[in-house]
Structure 1
Amino acid sequence: MISYQPLNLYRQFKEAAERFPEVAIVLDTSYQAFPELGFENTYTQVFAAIQQRAAQLSAAGVSADDKVMLYKSPGFDTYLLAVAVTAIGAVPVMVSYHLPTSVIDVFAERLERSFILFDKETKERVAAMEQKHLVTELAVADLVGLPANLVRENLLPEEVIQYMTHTSGTTGIPKLICHTAQTMGWRVAWQQTIFEKMAEKKTLAFHISPVHSRYNIGISSAIGLGFPLLPLSSAKAQDVATSLERYRPMALETHPNHFVQWAQFARENPTVFSSIRYYHSTFDAINIGTLRAFLEASKANHPVFMQVYGQSECGPMILRYHRLETLGTTNARDMGIGLSGYTAARITDEKGCPLPAGQNGHIQLLSRGRAVTYYKEDARFQENVYGDWWDSGDYGCMTQEGTLLLKDRQVDMIESIDSNLALEDFLLDQLDFLSEIVIIRDANGAPQPIVALTDGREMNWEAWWHQVADLPLLKEPIIMAYEDIPRTATMKVQRLKMEEEMKMENL
């Protein structure tokens, strides 16, 4: 039975290194921020490197209660730097490397006085800041050259802000989400309850945005139980294949859109994924065809695909297990149920009044791990608070069986379509020449499909028009390259940005 404990990232890593000193952490690349680490390391070796960085951060002037923006190329080292920041009582602020200078300026204003740790990926954007007077700049290359006289750990109280992430920014300037040791502790208890169901403690492979709130919870939960880790630095299918074939992990987690992106590769190269018994998608739904591709590729006993619906403000919330034998009767938009004692969902009208099963409305979430505020924007945070419940900004309904159907983001709804996401899933399942489909609103509010083609395939117009003949009226699709579709750090499509760009093109 998992017991709740508040989560301090540094203390968790220290205790894990003491309990499981020889457990492996395998890297598929070298990291400038941790030059002493090789490809195959132990918990003990990684913890020693964290202590070194904590000492160097202190030498750079970072001290208790300071805010440290980690704004650098994405990688496992970003998380390790956050652990080092935590060791000296400072607060890591996890910032996606792809955010523009204009957003970093806003963050600098909100944080008032902060450090910003950057590398060659983000150097030019930091140099272009208008609010540079509000930040102390610290380059990763300079940090690792500073004196490393070990410092005493200085852990913040469990009830204060210890960690910040940010919202995806799909609807504007991202908000800084504040987490305490208490709120993060409940998320770890949720995750470890799931991990404990795994039959063996074999390697967990994952490719997740290191600035996503999911990242620290996943790693903290795994090392607390002594799982070997294989963080994947690249989302390119061939790079993933190289690591999976070499280390044969038991589990694989990534963003839903990466699973979609890899699905055709899995169909053509199933042996790459043959060792995977547990698949795990991060905080969203996936179409049935993608689920089937990975479950069929596995040669493990009784492989399972765990679909998790959640949100950065609340953590992992609603879960459902998929197996090959259940896919024929599965609605991909059925996210499942909450975890008893930790999380639940309900549907309400726009005023927060609960609605009966089968009626569409706002999805509200109940989480013991809910974040405490948006930094310097508490009024915006409170707009979504309904007592113990949090309005997710999503739209759906509850089934008679008590499971949650996710239909759309409230801001993305199209009047003529019951569920944008369900329609996209359906077309993606039926048309194998598509690697992505996104339906947005044109300038008049009409549904405009944007499609990306599977590598090596051409648009089959006859099949498209045949498939959509009995569906709500869709405009002729616009073909885009997969990599040209704007996305957040967690690969979510920035629909509102696409709509705005389309309006500008038609002016």
Structure 2
Amino acid sequence: MDVTGLPGFYAIAAADPDRLAVIDTDGTETSYGDLLARVNQVSHGLRARGLGTGDVVAGVLPNGIDAVVMLMATGQIGLYYVPINWHLTAAEVAYILTDCDAKVVVTGPGYAVPGAEIGTAGLAEGQPADAPGERTSGAVMWYTSGTTGFPKGVQRPLPGSAPEEIVPLYSWFLGEVVDLKPGDEIHLVTSPMYHSSPCAHVQFALHFGHTVVITPKFEPVNILELIERHRVSNAMMVPTMFHRMLQLPEEVKARFDLSSLRQVIHTAAACPVAVKQQIMDWWGPVLYEYYGSTESTIAFSVKPHDWLARPGTVGRPAPTFEAKIVNEEGKELPPGEPGMIYVKSSLGKFEYRKDPAKTAASMLGEWYTPGDIGYLDDDGYLFLCDRRTDLIVSGGVNIYPAEIEAALLEHPAVADVAVIGVPDEEWGHNVVALVQPAEGVEPGPALTAELLEHCAPRIAKFKHPKVVEYRQTLPRTPTGKLSRSKVRADYLSEA
């Protein structure tokens, strides 16, 4: 059935119930009609728990059908949905649940949270499969950390209208940015759906009528097998994945037919020019890139041929966005001069939940900064000079040094510590901790093992330092602030 004129998932599922919606991690197939029935049951179940417009539901869920159901159920009854990284420690998860005021939490059997629903079956049980009344759009509220390391929810006002009224605008936007259109397409999920971009792309694949193929985790050969088997036409990836696939032996890479690919969208970290060029030499001109943040969404974008003409750019301002580069005094800079990137858009404002001061600090009037340094060329294409000063981006995941430093400083053997990101060919950056031991403490492998063990209950494994080195002193500014820029420069010069 041609779904081009239908305004999103709920309408498509009602009109074409036999259409294939999801191929789960174990190969189980779910039709649009069956998915809509479960989504409706869960919507009724959430309302039966007493939830109303503006309330919050959280999901600590692995990739799979339950994560999809929660996304689409909350999306039609005016709820905020908070996907939570299940790699986080119990304390980290508890902090987010408390901060977001989640009234219902859904988790998987292996990721139990006290008081949580295990899967969506309990919410759906005994509920009708027809559409709930008074449907109104919900929103996803992703948690992101600032330089303080404490996560904050990025909250947008609810639209106040049914999904069918707002989906066409966002569908138009994605069509303009990455050439995605409604129809018989296959979308491959390669990353955890608790990240903003993979989650958003799953949601809009369904609004476009595409079939969503879900992987539990990224494995290079498995991804290539899935692309060939399902004739995948679009996917979202991060540069680390490209690097790992390029490392496969030539005979392995040549084994797979990838000719079905039309859009492979990448974001989350700077992609080395050589890596991106090699992927396009292999797959053809199919790489679409966008740059932004959880707060700004997609602020800049570049299509394959425009990038090939300007290697290294992350694109021009996306539709509805304006951009400018300013210096430390807030003065706008001309093309070619690096400065802080600021953007604004008519697509909607955001605020950090429960933190108006943090919201205000990120704004310059109507303009928002992701905190990154870059410059615009004469044609308005953005080139990044550096990610925000302290942020570490490893494997496409944001890691905040202050959070790791705080955990290490709880150990009595640590007098001072600086955590920095050091360039790594595969991961983008590795986490390196430079530790000043307390007086009388002997540095060495035994202390390193003790510090990493100390981190285990405090911060997620992916935040743990890959390297721990020891220093007699660490540089600080006259006001006592750690000078990470000096630490980083000294470390790299020594290396």
1:321 paired to 2:303: yes
Alignment-derived partner of residue 417 in structure 1: none
How big is the shift at 1:142? 6.3
Pick from 127, 134, 137 the counterpart of residue 116 of structure 2: 137
The answer (yes or no) to whether the contact 1:55–1:147 under 8 Å persists in 2 is no
- 1-side partners of 2:150 and 2:466: how far apart? 16
- Corresponding residue for 1:385? 363
Name the counterpart of 1:347: 325
Distance 2:362 2:386 in 1: 17
1:97/1:121 contact within 8 Å kept: no
1:169-318 matches, within 5 Å, as 172-182=149-159, 187-194=170-177, 196=179, 201-265=184-248, 267=250, 268-270=252-254, 271-298=256-283, 303-318=285-300
C-alpha separation between the residues in 1 aligned to 2:295 and 2:134? 23
Q: Secondary structure at the match of 1:410?
A: coil
Range that drifts further, 377-386 or 14-23: 14-23
Structure 1 residues 453 and 392, CA, compared in 2 at 3 Å: closer, same or farther?
A: closer
Provide closer, same or farther for how the CA distance between residues 265 and 21 of structure 1 changes in structure 2, counting only shifts above 3 A.
farther
- Residues 448, 382 of structure 1: CA spacing in aligned structure 2 closer, same or farther, 3 A cutoff? closer
Deviations 1:91-145 (A, max 9, x none): 212211122222233223323462222223322xx34xxxxxxxx5322276267
Which one-letter code corresponds to 1:92 in the other structure? Y
For residues 142 and 446 of structure 1, what CA distance do their matches in structure 2 show?
A: 43
| SS of 2:62 mapped into structure 1 | coil
Equivalent residue, structure 2, for 1:481: none
The answer as to 2:137 corresponding to 1:164 is no
8 Å Cα contact 2:86-2:111 kept in structure 1: yes
Question: Matches of 2:286 and 2:190 in 1, distance apart?
Answer: 18
Where does the alignment leave 5 or more consecutive residues of structure 2 unmatched? Answer: 1-6, 161-165, 406-415, 428-454, 475-495
Task: Indicate conservation of the 8 Å contact 1:87/1:154, yes or no.
Answer: no
The CA deviation string for residues 419-445 of structure 1, in whole angstroms up to 9 with x for no partner, is x99xx9xxxxxxxxxxxxx9x9x9999
TM-score by length of 2: 0.70
**Structure 1, 308-317 or 47-56: larger mean CA deviation:** 47-56
Please state how far the C-alpha of 1:394 moved relative to its aligned partner: 0.8
Q: What is the aligned partner in structure 2 of residue 121 from structure 1?
A: 110
CA distance 1:12–1:171, shift in 2 (3 Å): farther
Identical-pair percentage: 20
Contact kept, 8 Å, 1:117 with 1:140, in 2: the verdict is yes
Q: CA deviation at 1:374?
A: 1.1
For 1:241, give the aligned amino acid. Answer: L
**1:238-281 CA deviation, whole Å, 9 max, x = no partner?**
32233222111122222232222322238541425333132211
Q: 2:56 — aligned with what? A: 67
1:406 pairs, out of 384, 397, 401, with 384
- RMSD of Structure 2 on Structure 1 (CA): 4.2
Which one-letter code corresponds to 1:238 in the other structure? V
1:81 is aligned to 2:58: no
TM-score normalised by L of structure 1: 0.69
> SS where residue 150 of structure 2 aligns?
coil
Structure 2 CA distance, aligned partners of 1:245 and 1:117?
33
Mean alpha-carbon deviation: is it higher for 147-156 or for 66-75? 147-156
Deviation at 1:364, TM superposition (A): 0.9
Q: How many residues are aligned here?
A: 414
CA separation of 1:273/1:290 partners in 2, compared to 1, >3 Å: closer, same or farther?
A: farther
- What's the secondary structure of 1:400's corresponding residue? coil
2:298–2:318 Cα contact (<8 Å) kept: no
Contact (CA 8 Å) 2:59, 2:67: kept in 1 or not?
Answer: yes
SS in 2 for 1:176: strand
Equivalent-residue separation in structure 2 for 1:89 and 1:354 (angstroms) = 39
SS of equivalent to 1:412: coil
Q: Against the structure 1 CA distance between its residues 353 and 177, is the aligned structure 2 distance closer, same or farther, given a 3 Å change threshold?
A: same
Q: CA deviation at 1:393?
A: 1.0
How far is the alpha carbon of 1:388 from its aligned partner? 2.5
Equivalent residue of 2:314, what SS? strand
